[in-house]
Amino acid sequence: MTKRVLSYVRRLFKNPSITKSDLYGSMGDFIQAEEQQRFCAKCPGITLCKYKGLRWSISVKKIFRRQIIVAEVGNCVNRQREKRQRETEQLIRASKIPEAMKRCTFGTFITAGDPMIRTAKGLAMASVEDGASLILGGGTGVGKTHLAIAMVQKTVSRGKAALFVPVVDLLDEIRSGYNEGTADAIQQVVKDADCVALDDLGAQRSTSWVSERLFSVIDARYRSGKQTIITTNACSMSQLEKMLGERGQRIVSRLAEMAQPLFIKARDFRTRKNVQQRLPVGK
């Protein structure tokens, strides 16, 4: 067995001077690695893999100032890919993006040649890369929610926890949570996520309680420096401040410091629909 292992390891490292003293661990592990290497050369796919996606690997490690050759078991590339896919699917489910809106990606966002819409798309894509917070304001139908969801989905695809939360729905969940004992937990999830998109800020009915809850969430994210995406029908920061009620000034002050604002002045998507249908996706 030792002779077979040495022959295999010497071929693997193209080094005929390797001796038994250079090997660490069971000879059986090295035999297993050799046999699996032949099996994996004709990979049947993860579902038919007799090793269930586990893969032996041979590597050189340094222990006590001495280099040794070890055989270790880990995940093969296909198993790792499948694991990442499962994790991504779990994150997407946790992101609370409505099923009908999962089509909202950067690829399906069409600018219809509008310079302002192109700017908004470019800024949203850059914000994902930089992890920067963003405020997207403007009238209805200009693509604010589409871009916010696209940012969340892109963030999720990179293995980060991201949430898409319509503000009105969030407030309703918190209210309901007081009876069920989950109000604090709901707010904490929104405060802790790597990325949160608060959709339609300013659409809520403004009361002292509402203003306090919104300030609590936004202030927590401001202090932690976590990425926050805001969409709003407000066309300026001063208008947003008025829409947010008694704590509007403090909320907007936090937002102005933590996020890049862009107020989109463009025609409603529905009036551009015929033009968009004639353009390739994403242009």
- Per-residue pLDDT band at 141 (split at 50, 70, 90): confident
Interval 30-36 mean pLDDT? 81
The overall average pLDDT reported for the chain is 84
Whether 40 has a pLDDT exceeding 70, the answer reads yes
Percent of the chain with pLDDT over 90: 40
User: Between vectors from CA 48 to CA 31 and to CA 37, what angle results, nearest 5°?
Assistant: 25
Query: What number of CA atoms fall less than 13 Å from residue 116's CA on the CB side?
Result: 15
Tokens of 239: 């208008």
Tokens of 225: 């420096």
pTM above 0.75, yes or no: no
Tokens of 147: 């871009």
- Residue 90: what pLDDT? 58
Whether 279 has a pLDDT exceeding 50, the answer reads no
Which domains are delineated in the chain? 2-76 (no CATH), 93-277 (3.40.50.300)
Whether 234 has a pLDDT exceeding 80, the answer reads yes
- Per-residue pLDDT band at 83 (split at 50, 70, 90): low
CA distance 241 to 245: 7
Percent of the chain with pLDDT over 70: 86
Tokens of 132: 């920067």
